[in-house]
């Protein structure tokens, strides 16, 4: 059977970009596609590099959306914030499923180029740290690997001292009448959040009467979605790492899997999980 060439001219597609902005121009595609600097001749390093680039790009969008969502929560404008948090949850699903692609690389394949990474590790991903801070996992120590990059260090420092998404949700609840004490709504934002009985009580009131507090109830469910998916990301990272390097030490210097297992214990919105038992 003979295949026919489609006459693209007949569809009116623009084919001349001498004087018009093209797809590649708009995307700055050449910069994007020239950022894959392989450090070895190994076939599998391209996968390793691209997965990291993809995750960093998604992180960029996640931060863009969550910062905007937090601004909306601050101004008591919840509907647009739901659109953004829902988008972030869908992005996190993509980021979780990306581990399946990386897991096609075996231990033997990875070991052939692992030595070229030196001490480079996702541990030094400042966008991941910004995400942790926005989500409320505050820890000043993670700024230290960025001391040699003042602009990154400053961005992290600023986010460390900014109320997280959850802090802003609690401040909104207080403005709406929940009895939340100053140590919750005026705390030192650079410190990690600790569960408080007054917050649990406030969420319980919302979950007991969802119809009366519909938007706060929906906000709580959006937050649970985010934490659920963030946990899934950490879990899939851990299992992928164990599958590829077992209990070898990480290139970033930690013991590897035992460290990542410890990080799985992190709870970001504690009262939202607690009320599942209490209600
Ligand atoms: C073969 C693939 C991978 C291996 C073996 C691996 C291994 C590890 C290990 C052992 C750590 C602990 C820190 C250290 O000592 O290095 C770590 C941390 C981390 N990795 Fe990966 N990783 C891989 C892929 C990725 C990818 C694709 C990302 C995406 C950006 C990523 C992001 C991170 C982040 C954000 C941390 C810090 C986690 C925390 O401190 O809670 N990793 N990784």
Range of the domain at 190: 40-123+164-278
Residue ranges around ligand 1 (CB below 6 Å):
51-52, 55, 102, 110, 121-123, 125, 128, 237, 241, 244-245, 250-254, 256, 259-260, 263
Q: Please name the residues in contact with 9: beta carbons below 8 A apart, sequence gap of 6 or more.
A: 15
Q: Is residue 246 part of a domain?
A: yes
Q: Is residue 238 part of a domain?
A: yes
Q: Taking the mean position of all CA atoms in its chain, how far away is CA 209? A: 31
Q: Is residue 60 part of a domain?
A: yes
| Total structural domains within the chain | 1
Q: Is residue 271 part of a domain?
A: yes
Task: Convert the pLDDT of each residue in 83-118 to its tens digit.
Answer: 999 999 999 999 999 999 999 999 999 999 999 999
Residue 7's pLDDT is 84
Task: Convert the pLDDT of each residue in 210-268 to its tens digit.
Answer: 999 999 999 999 999 999 999 999 999 999 999 999 999 999 999 999 999 999 999 99
Q: Taking the mean position of all CA atoms in its chain, how far away is CA 120? A: 19
3 against 125, higher pLDDT? 125
Stretch 46-67: mean pLDDT: 98
Stretch 65-92: mean pLDDT: 98
The answer on pLDDT for 1 being more than 70 is no
Residue 6's pLDDT is 83
Q: Is residue 136 part of a domain?
A: no
Q: Is residue 216 part of a domain?
A: yes
**Among protein residues, the one whose CA lies closest to atom 22 of ligand 1:** 241
Q: Is residue 141 part of a domain?
A: no
**Among protein residues, the one whose CA lies closest to atom 2 of ligand 1:** 241
**DSSP conformational letter for 4:** P
Written as six digits, the tokens of 217 are 């109830």
Q: Which residue stretches of the chain are H helix? A: 23-27, 29-33, 45-74, 78-102, 107-114, 126-135, 150-160, 165-175, 182-185, 197-208, 214-245, 257-263, 270-278
CA of 130 to the centre of ligand 1 (A): 16
Q: Is residue 172 part of a domain?
A: yes
Determine if the pTM surpasses 0.95: yes
CATH code, domain carrying 85? 1.20.58.480
């Amino acid at each position: 059977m003979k295949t026919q060439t489609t006459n693209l001219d007949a569809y009116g597609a623009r084919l001349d970009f001498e004087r018009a902005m093209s797809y590649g121009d708009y995307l700055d595609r050449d910069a994007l596609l020239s950022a894959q600097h392989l450090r070895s001749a190994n076939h599998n390093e391209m996968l390793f590099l691209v997965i990291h680039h993809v995750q960093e790009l998604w992180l960029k969008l996640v931060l863009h959306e969550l910062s905007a969502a937090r601004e909306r929560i601050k101004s008591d404008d919840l509907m647009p914030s739901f659109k953004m948090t829902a988008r972030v949850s869908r992005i996190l699903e993509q980021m979780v499923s990306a581990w399946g692609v990386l897991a096609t690389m075996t231990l033997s394949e990875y070991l052939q180029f692992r030595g070229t990474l030196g001490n480079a590790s996702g541990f030094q991903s400042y966008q991941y740290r910004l995400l942790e801070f926005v989500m409320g996992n505050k820890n000043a120590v993670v700024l230290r690997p960025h001391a040699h990059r003042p602009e990154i260090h400053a961005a992290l420092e600023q986010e460390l001292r900014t109320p997280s998404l959850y802090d802003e949700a609690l401040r909104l609840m207080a403005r709406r009448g929940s009895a939340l004490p100053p140590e919750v709504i005026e705390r030192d934002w650079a410190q990690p959040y600790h569960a408080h009985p007054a917050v649990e009580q406030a969420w319980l009131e919302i979950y007991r009467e969802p119809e009366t507090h519909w938007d706060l109830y929906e906000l709580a469910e959006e937050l649970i979605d985010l934490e659920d998916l963030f946990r899934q990301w950490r879990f899939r990272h851990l299992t992928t790492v164990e599958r590829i390097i077992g209990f070898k030490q990480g290139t970033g210097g930690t013991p590897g899997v035992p460290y990542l297992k410890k990080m799985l214990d992190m709870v970001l919105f504690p009262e939202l999980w607690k009320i599942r038992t209490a209600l």
